Amino acid sequence: MAMTLRIPEGLDDQLDELAAREHTSKHSLLLQGAELIVRARSRREDINRGIDFVMEHDAELLKRLEDA
């Protein structure tokens, strides 16, 4: 899928410098950034599901620990 992305000038300059240092393209850097965001959000969702599971299935135990 093609898309147009408008990047602020300062950020664009920083991407140019980073791409040159890493011998890669800005396109590649932006894809890496997008992948990091997707993974971080997915991990946060996994953690929240885990917490919800524990809160639901161990509610009685947690209540006893709270009262101890």
What pLDDT, in 10s, does the model give residues 18-52?
Answer: 999 999 999 999 999 999 999 999 988 889 888 99
Half-sphere exposure of 67 (CA within 13 A, CB side): 6
pTM for this prediction: 0.65
The full set of domain ranges for the chain reads 35-68
Would the CA dihedral through 3, 7, 11, 13 be positive or negative? Answer: positive
Lowest mean pLDDT among 2-11, 16-25, 36-45, 55-64: 55-64
